[in-house]
A = this chain, B = another copy of it.
Amino acid sequence: MPAVQGAPIVPEQDEVVVRERARAIPEAAVARLAVYLRVLSGMVDQGVTTISSEELSAAAGVNSAKLRKDLSYVGSYGTRGVGYDVEVLVSHIERILGLTRKHSVAVVGIGNLGHALANYGGFQSRGFPVAALFDVDEDLTGVPVGGIPVNHIDDITAVCVEREVSIGVIATPPQAAQAVCDRLVSAGVQCILNFAPVVLQVPDDVEVRKVDLAVEMQILSFHVARRADEASAEQAANDLINGVGVDRVVIRP
């Protein structure tokens, strides 16, 4: 039996188990790698050629142990006693994140947000060209937004296949989102970024990420409230014990 990689896993009958090529990288680490990449790109522009884990972690807003652990998932490309070569690191992170391929983006729903996304330079510049725009509104069909003419949503499959769209962005009203998602999926799009405040149902082989602005606001709101509660609890407790031989009250989290 050909042992493709020395895998000490017990194979079931008539199966060979191959350990996944790329070491599994924790989801949380992937998100941070993208941030490191951005910071490193800035370093390249500033002419920095070498950087230590301490410096890079500070610039990325994490601690250095976490940074080194994250980079260790990518591989060992640092020099002990010195640090990392910025360009080497950039190219390895890009490889891990799959940025050597081009990823064309389609934006569906050309309202306020869709307009903003179509015009947003950050996609283009970071390797995610917006290749197609869609809307139900027939008055918009053919109208150029950010240099790209809007297509009618009924043409979504043909256009996505032709322009090799690999990422779909949903910027429609919530009622339309699931239907749009279904159409994107049947057009072969396997990655979706969803701005509509709904939970999308998709097959297992489709990856969805969501950005819900109201949820972000509510999380911030929670923290305001918590801080206010703590402050008032501390205040109340201090009032309560006033002159009872205790100097101060501390709130432990």
> Which A residues contact B (CB, under 8 angstroms)?
1-2, 4, 9, 12, 14-22, 24-25, 30-31, 33-35, 37-39, 59-61, 96-99, 101, 103, 105, 112-113, 115-117, 119-120, 122-123, 126, 128, 166-167, 190-193, 197, 199, 201, 205, 207, 209, 211-230, 233-234, 237, 240-241, 244-253
Establish whether residues B214 and A4, one from each chain, have CB atoms under 8 Å apart when the complex forms. no
Number of copies: 2
Establish whether residues B219 and A31, one from each chain, have CB atoms under 8 Å apart when the complex forms. yes
Establish whether residues B247 and A14, one from each chain, have CB atoms under 8 Å apart when the complex forms. yes
Contact of A244 among B1, B103, B166, B193 (CB under 8 A): B1
Establish whether residues B24 and A253, one from each chain, have CB atoms under 8 Å apart when the complex forms. yes
Establish whether residues B224 and A39, one from each chain, have CB atoms under 8 Å apart when the complex forms. no
Main secondary structure of the interface of A (DSSP, over half): mixed
Establish whether residues B122 and A197, one from each chain, have CB atoms under 8 Å apart when the complex forms. yes
Q: State the CA gap A219–B31 with chains docked (Å).
A: 6
Given A116-B116, A191-B224, A224-B101, A2-B244 contact (CB < 8 Å): yes
Contact of A16 among B59, B193, B241 (CB under 8 A): B241
Given A20-B253, A116-B115, A253-B24, A191-B223 contact (CB < 8 Å): yes
Q: State the CA gap A128–B218 with chains docked (Å).
A: 9
Establish whether residues A101 and B225, one from each chain, have CB atoms under 8 Å apart when the complex forms. yes
How many Å from the CB of A34 to the closest CB on chain B?
4
A20-B251, A167-B220, A209-B220 are known contacts; what are 4 more A-B pairs with Cβ within 8 Å?
A34-B214, A98-B225, A116-B116, A207-B220
Q: State the CA gap A4–B14 with chains docked (Å).
A: 66
Establish whether residues A18 and B237, one from each chain, have CB atoms under 8 Å apart when the complex forms. yes
Q: State the CA gap A226–B218 with chains docked (Å).
A: 33
Given A113-B116, A214-B38, A227-B15 contact (CB < 8 Å): no
- Would you give 18 A-B contacts (Cβ < 8 Å), ordered by A? A1-B246, A2-B240, A15-B248, A16-B237, A17-B249, A17-B250, A21-B230, A31-B219, A33-B218, A38-B215, A39-B199, A103-B217, A113-B116, A115-B116, A116-B116, A117-B213, A123-B214, A128-B217
Q: State the CA gap A190–B190 with chains docked (Å).
A: 38
CB-CB < 8 A to A252: which residues of B? 9, 17-20
Given A226-B22, A248-B14, A199-B116 contact (CB < 8 Å): no
